[in-house]
C-alpha cells in the first residue's frame, strides 16, 4: 500500500469524558456544582449528544434533523448544531454552552490512543504517506502538534474545509490526490462503517477499529503496520 488515511476522532484520538469536559469549563469560569448535580448535568449533556466526538444524541429534536445531517460541512454549521444540543440542558450560566464548544476544540480535551504515536511514527520511518480524513467543523492540526505528531501527517483533509463530508467519495478522492496515491493502493482506517466505509467506493482497502475509551483499546491500530509492510 502506498498510503494510509486515518479518521481522527475514535480512531487516532479520543475526546475526554463528558464529565471531564463539563468540569473543566466550570472550573475555568470559576463556577462549581455539587458533585451529584455535576454528574447529572454531564449525563444529560451526553444523552443530548452535545459533545462532538462523544456519544450521538439519544433523541434528535425534529428541528435539528436537517442541521445535524450536514453539521460537518462548515464551521458555522458544526458550532450551531452542537451548541443547540448543549442548550437543551440548563446550566448555571448561558455562556457556558459556548465555552463547552470552545473547550472541545482544545488539545487538552483529546488523548491519543496508546498505539497512535507508534503507528504514525513507524509509517513515517518507512516512508509511507499518511493523511487524516475527518468529518469535523474545526482545525484539528493543533491537537497533532501538541502531541508531537504533526510531523507524521502529510495531508489533512477536513470536511469543513471542503464543504463535503464522509461517506461522500469526493473527500477520500481529494485526500488521495493530495497524497499522490492511487486509491487502490490506499488503506482507510476508521471507526465508522457508515462514514469511513465510503472509501471503498474508490477501491481503497478499509480497516475498522472500535470507538472505545483510550484505556480499553491499547493496540487496535497495530494491524495497519502489517498491511503496509
pLDDT digits (tens, 9 = 90+) for 195-205: 999 999 999 99
Chosen domain end from 108, 132, 151: 108
Indicate if 7 and 117 belong to the same structural domain.
yes
Same-domain status, 87 and 159:
no
Using alpha carbons only, give the angle 108, 113, 114 rounded to the nearest 5 degrees.
Answer: 115
Number of domains in the chain: 2
Same domain membership, residue 87 and residue 130:
no
The pLDDT assigned to 208 comes to 98
- Asked if 50 and 111 count as a contact pair (C-beta separation under 8 A), the reply is no
What the block records as the C-alpha cell of 11 is 480512531
Does residue 1 carry a pLDDT above 80?
Answer: no
CA 159 – CA 150 distance, rounded (Å): 19
151 and 80 in a common domain: no
Q: What is the mean pLDDT of residues 161-190?
A: 98
73 — pLDDT class (breaks 50, 70, 90): very high
Same domain for 139 and 211, yes or no, is yes
Residue 44 and residue 76 in one domain: yes
pLDDT band for 135, please (50, 70, 90 cuts). very high
Same domain for 115 and 173: yes
Which domain covers residue 92, as residue numbers?
Answer: 15-108
8 and 121 inside one domain: yes
Residues 58, 63: Cα–Cα separation, whole Å: 15
Q: Which residue has the higher pLDDT, 58 or 2?
A: 58
In this structure, the answer to whether residues 136 and 206 fall within a common structural domain is yes
Peptide bond into 167 cis (omega under 30): yes
> What are 143-156's pLDDT values in tens digits?
999 999 999 999 99
Give the C-alpha separation, 127 to 157, whole Å: 20
Shared-domain flag, residues 56 and 98: yes
The string of pLDDT tens digits covering residues 37-70 is 999 999 999 999 999 999 999 999 999 999 999 9
CATH assignment of the domain containing 117: 3.40.50.1000
Q: Check whether residue 97 and residue 127 sit in a common domain.
A: no
Instruction: Answer yes or no: do 66 and 157 share one domain.
Output: no
- Over residues 206-222, the mean pLDDT reads 96
> What pTM was estimated for this model as a whole?
0.96
Amino acid at each position: 500500500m502506498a498510503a494510509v488515511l486515518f479518521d481522527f476522532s475514535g480512531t487516532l484520538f479520543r475526546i475526554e469524558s463528558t464529565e471531564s469536559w463539563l468540569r473543566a469549563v466550570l472550573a475555568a469560569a470559576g463556577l462549581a456544582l455539587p458533585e451529584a448535580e455535576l454528574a447529572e448535568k454531564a449525563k444529560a449533556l451526553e444523552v443530548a449528544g452535545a459533545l462532538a466526538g462523544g456519544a450521538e444524541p439519544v433523541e434528535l429534536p425534529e428541528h435539528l434533523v436537517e442541521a445535524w445531517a450536514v453539521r460537518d460541512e462548515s464551521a458555522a454549521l458544526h458550532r450551531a448544531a452542537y451548541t443547540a444540543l448543549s442548550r437543551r440542558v440548563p446550566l448555571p450560566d448561558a455562556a457556558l454552552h459556548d465555552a463547552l464548544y470552545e473547550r472541545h476544540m482544545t488539545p487538552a480535551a483529546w488523548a491519543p490512543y496508546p498505539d497512535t504515536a507508534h503507528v504514525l511514527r513507524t509509517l513515517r520511518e518507512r516512508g509511507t504517506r499518511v493523511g487524516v480524513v475527518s468529518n469535523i467543523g474545526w482545525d484539528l492540526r493543533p491537537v497533532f502538534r501538541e502531541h508531537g505528531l504533526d510531523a507524521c501527517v502529510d495531508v489533512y483533509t477536513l470536511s469543513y474545509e471542503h464543504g463535503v463530508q464522509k461517506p461522500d467519495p469526493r473527500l477520500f478522492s481529494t485526500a488521495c490526490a493530495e497524497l499522490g496515491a492511487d486509491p487502490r493502493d490506499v488503506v482507510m482506517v476508521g471507526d465508522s462503517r457508515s462514514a469511513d466505509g465510503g472509501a471503498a467506493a474508490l477501491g481503497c482497502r478499509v480497516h475498522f477499529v472500535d470507538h472505545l475509551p483510550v484505556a480499553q483499546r491499547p493496540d487496535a491500530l497495530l494491524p495497519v503496520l502489517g498491511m503496509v509492510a
